[in-house]
């Protein structure tokens, strides 16, 4: 696993659910087919209303129309990120859009496990309400080993909760690669 993640932040509020992360009408795409996997990125976060995202009118969209990858690498959110259905396509959609990490106050457990099990993105938690302290477009750096977030735009710094027992799974690239690495699967 890389030691740092650096990129622009996309800030969201509380209770962003899996239907907002990837709307149901796009679940017909098959993530095992590379061209269809890309489609998940195109429609990621397409149903998050700007008011819920906590963004002002005229805010920057998650990505330009007809683009598959977002210019943002890190999502900063509030409470209960990934709530709603147990849709495993939600972290796939964010991964396809180029998201490498999400930092939230806490997650819906199924979203957290789907993110880790598939190795799609790194789900950090923060004791601080970072969605009120960081702006969309701020340049961030996450030091994975130190569990530290640096806002390179404002020069602020925060401690993130350590990844703990999920770190080796994420480092291996997901649950199945981890199981192979430790001899649980051949």
Got the DSSP string for 64-92?
-TT-SS-SEEEEE--SSBTBSS--THHHH
pLDDT band at 64 (very low <50, low <70, confident <90, very high): confident
Percentage of the chain lying above the pLDDT 70 cut: 94
Confidence of residue 58 (pLDDT cuts 50, 70, 90): very low
pLDDT in tens, 10-28: 999 999 999 999 999 999 9
Of the ranges 2-6, 10-14, 31-35, 59-63, which one carries the lowest mean pLDDT score? 59-63
pLDDT at 87: 82
pLDDT reported for residue 51: 60
| Segment 87-109 mean pLDDT | 96
Residue 103: which residues within 8 A CB-CB, separation 6 or more?
74, 75, 76, 77, 124, 125, 126, 130, 142, 149, 160
Averaged confidence pLDDT in the chain: 91
What is the average per-residue pLDDT within 143-150?
Answer: 96
Instruction: Identify which of 99, 96, 85 has the alpha carbon closest to the alpha carbon of residue 8.
Output: 99
Other CB atoms within 10 A of residue 133 CB: 15
CA distance 146 to 19: 33
pTM higher than 0.85: yes
pLDDT, greater one: 57 or 42: 42
Percent residues over pLDDT 90 in the chain: 83
The more confident residue out of 54 and 95 is 95
- Give residue 50's pLDDT: 64
Residue 66, pLDDT score: 82
The CATH class for the domain spanning 4-181 reads alpha beta
Q: Which is more confidently placed, 185 or 130? A: 130
């Amino acid at each position: 696993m890389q030691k740092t993640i650096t990129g622009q932040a996309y800030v969201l509020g509380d209770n962003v659910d899996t239907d907002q992360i990837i709307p149901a009408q796009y679940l017909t795409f098959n993530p095992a087919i590379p061209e269809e996997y890309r489609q998940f990125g195109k429609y990621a976060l397409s149903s998050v209303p700007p008011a819920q995202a906590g963004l002002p009118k005229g805010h920057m969209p998650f990505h330009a129309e007809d683009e598959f990858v977002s210019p943002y690498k890190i999502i900063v959110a509030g409470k209960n990120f990934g709530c709603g259905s147990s849709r495993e396509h939600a972290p796939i959609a964010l991964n396809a859009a180029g998201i490498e990490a999400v930092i939230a106050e806490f997650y819906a457990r199924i979203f957290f496990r789907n993110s880790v099990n598939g190795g799609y993105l790194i789900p950090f938690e923060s004791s601080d309400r970072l969605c009120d302290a960081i702006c969309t477009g701020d340049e961030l750096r996450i030091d994975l080993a130190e569990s530290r977030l640096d806002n390179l735009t404002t020069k602020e710094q925060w401690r993130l909760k350590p990844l703990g027992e999920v770190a080796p799974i994420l480092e291996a690239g997901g649950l199945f690669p981890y199981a192979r690495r430790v001899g649980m699967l051949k």
